[in-house]
Amino acid sequence: MLLLTSTSDILQVITATPVSTIMVHASWVDNASGVITPGRTNTRITAGSPTTTDIVAAPAASTQRNVKMLSIRNSHATSSELLTVQHTDGTTVVELIKLTLLAGYELSYNENSGWFLIDASGGRVLTPLSGRFLGTTVLTSASGNFTTSPSTNTIRIRGVAGGGGGGGCTSVAAAASAAGGGGGGGYIEKTVAVSPNTAYAYVCGAAGTGASGAAGNNGGDSTFIVGATTYTAKAGSGAVVATAVTTPSAYKGGTGGTVSTNGDLNSSGYPGEDGTVAVIATPVGASGGGGSTPFGAGGVPIAAVGNGVAAIGFGGGGGGAMTGASAVRTGGNASAGCWVVDELS
């Protein structure tokens, strides 16, 4: 409990450089020779120079004031506030608690639990402020800015680049072909210090498209910029065109993205599978499947004539097409890259 037992006892809040309104509520009960009287007060500490504010006044003579509850909230959307709660008896000043109150946070006290913090979303802070997991965001837009929360000091980013499109097949009478799959996008992980309420630019690499009777198109790199450093997952390549021939043949899949750059973990992408044809008159063989990633699966191979199968998820290469009987075929589309962002306090 917090007791004010003399006409000189006061509870105070010191704000270092108020940037907006600090909202304070206090509730108490007074005991005057057995007569119990409840009381409360609301105090607003507005922007200005450093100041000391009384938040619970001294009781009357021969009265004990038992402070039941305190709530001190930083109402600013982005700025933190260094504050101190202190008790004075008119002669001696004792600091009860001193901390930096983050934007949107509330410092609370009750006689059962003591002091504790409530975060900007209304959840009670039960772990240390530094390194506390705040949430995960999946970024899938072609480009944009990711803005950190008021409590974020570190992010862990995981990204894949766009995959390459599956190879298409040309048309030649009495000939056949089976194209390879597109390469998967590269993968990257990085844990990096950031600032709260700050926007960071990113790009999710484009998906390489399959083409009719032509090579698959390459994917796009995925990038995330923090300060002067660009973290890059490299794109998968499209598979070569499968030109229909009259002899058994094989067709290369697209290469996976080259090794990512500037991450704590930098990985290349998985290559697309090769396509093969063993029999021409009635085509027998299989196209190549697209390269997969940690966040997506490449388009599956096919063993009958048809267009390539599209990738699913994020960063997978498109599947290769297969043809016979003079039909032009289109390679499967790849899938675009993405970023997964974990925020930590």
Residue 262 CB burial class (10 angstroms; 0-12, 13-18, ≥19): middle
pLDDT for res 49: 66
pLDDT for res 162: 98
Average pLDDT over residues 271-293: 91
Measured distance CA(134)–CA(121) in Å, rounded: 10
Q: Would you say residue 280 has pLDDT above 80?
A: no
pLDDT for res 172: 84
Which range has the worst mean pLDDT, 17-26, 56-65, 138-147, 159-168? Answer: 17-26
Q: Indicate yes or no: pTM above 0.95.
A: no
Which range has the worst mean pLDDT, 108-112, 270-274, 312-316? Answer: 108-112
29-44 pLDDT, tens digit per residue, is 999 999 999 999 999 9
CA 302 to each of CA 122, 281, 308, 316: distance values in angstroms, whole numbers, following the listed order: 52, 18, 7, 16
Which range has the worst mean pLDDT, 165-169, 275-279, 315-319? Answer: 275-279
188 near 260, Cβ under 8 Å?
A: yes
Q: Would you say residue 18 has pLDDT above 80?
A: no
177 near 245, Cβ under 8 Å?
A: yes
Q: Would you say residue 281 has pLDDT above 80?
A: no
* Measured CA angle at 105 (ends 100, 108), to 5 deg: 90
Average pLDDT over residues 315-330: 93
Reported confidence tier of residue 82, pLDDT bands at 50, 70, 90: confident
117-172 pLDDT, tens digit per residue, is 998 888 888 766 677 888 999 999 999 999 998 889 999 999 999 999 999 999 88
Q: Would you say residue 48 has pLDDT above 70?
A: no
How many CA atoms are closer than 13 Å to the CA of 130, on its beta-carbon side? 2
Which spans in 203-344 are helix H?
A: none
Nearest to 301 by CA among 280, 281, 317: 317
Long-range contact list for 278-281, CB < 8 A, 24+ apart?
278/248, 279/176, 279/248, 280/174, 280/175, 280/176, 280/245, 280/246, 280/247, 280/248, 280/324, 281/174
More confident residue, 20 or 88: 88
For the chain, the structural domain boundaries read 2-125, 131-345
Q: Would you say residue 62 has pLDDT above 80?
A: yes
DSSP labels for 220-243? --EEEEETTEEEEEPPPPPPPPB-
Measured distance CA(20)–CA(90) in Å, rounded: 29
pLDDT for res 90: 92
Average pLDDT over residues 280-300: 92
Average pLDDT over residues 280-294: 89
Look up residue 149 and give its two tokens.
Answer: 């929360």
pLDDT for res 163: 98
Mean of the per-residue pLDDT values of the chain: 93
Provide the percentage of residues in the chain whose pLDDT is more than 90: 77
Reported confidence tier of residue 47, pLDDT bands at 50, 70, 90: low
Residues 49, 52, 56, 57, CA torsion sign:
negative
Average pLDDT over residues 10-19: 84
